[in-house]
Amino acid sequence: MIDPHNALIVISGVAGMTGSLVARKLLDRGYSVIGFDNFFAGSRSDVAALKEYSRFTFHEYDINDREEMDRLFKGLDESPRKELHFINCAAVVHTTHFYEIEATFATNVLAMKDMLTRCITHRFVSYINCSTSEVYSMDSYKEGGVREDMPVLVATAEQSQRTSYAVGKLLTEFMMKDRVAKGLILGCSIRFANVYSPSELHDQHIIPHIITSLMEHDEVTLLEHAKETQRTFLHNDDSAEAVIALLMTPSALDGSVYNVGTTEEIAIPHLVEKIGAMLGNPKPRIRYQGSRSADPHRRMLNCDKLMEATGWRPKKTLDAGLAECIAYRQGNRR
């Protein structure tokens, strides 16, 4: 356990869905947090709520801007806190951006490497690297869930530019493992699978897309292959708790990779019906059109490694999480 009176935790991407909740949970537990974000995909209202805490400091910085990062780390050198920890939540995420090679490489790979080097230079104790289950690419399902030590079948550039996002994140896992193996820092990488949140801003993600579509139009448009697609979904509260559980478990920060997800799998058409029923429409209309390359039909992770290392368990059922999402959107619709 990290002593909250002697530690300072720095979070990149702190305005994002997971970064902001991790920050709030740490602040609620007495920790001091410095966060930065350029609001590429983050929420200003979430940051405003974090600013209510006296132990939170925010900088509107871009992780790709070296001058801004120089100022950030110069300020950290002047901090009276002796124990520094870094959580790297900054990333170009969301499926629509997976195909943008330059942006994903700059932020997800080059900036991650720069942050890791800076943290080592400035004597940080640990570094949590947020990776992705996209690294499993076309081999995202096994009975019982895919494990971290399983080889993966990756779609190539001849098949889809989408994989550039996955292989970039995979490269950061190698960097993390290398620096820990050399004794330079403690750390790990986390592969998240389909994280969702009641207050999620981005309607292109499947759960908010379905809810908003059914609330506003009484029908939803899905890609053609969604007819055969199954997914698991991880509530952001469980996602944030997984990050904190690893941060607080030094023995787990051995350079390892950890899956974070659930095994509560559901077919996407059934997800539409479930949400429709919650909205009073048990037989919602579904229109299918378009396609997206290299989108696996199923994705389910085995999380035994994380559970054994930290004792973490997902607590939110899909039904409970969907009810929260619907209530949030109905409340903000008025």
The answer to whether the predicted template modeling score (pTM) of the entire model surpasses 0.85 is: yes
Q: Which CATH topology does 7-193+236-262+300-315 take?
A: Rossmann fold (3.40.50)
For the chain, domain boundaries: 7-193+236-262+300-315
d(CA 319, CA 325): 10
* pLDDT per residue as tens digits for the range 191-220: 999 999 998 867 778 999 999 999 999 999
* pLDDT per residue as tens digits for the range 262-305: 999 999 999 999 999 999 998 999 999 987 766 788 899 999 99
* pLDDT per residue as tens digits for the range 80-104: 778 999 999 987 665 666 667 787 8
d(CA 95, CA 312): 27
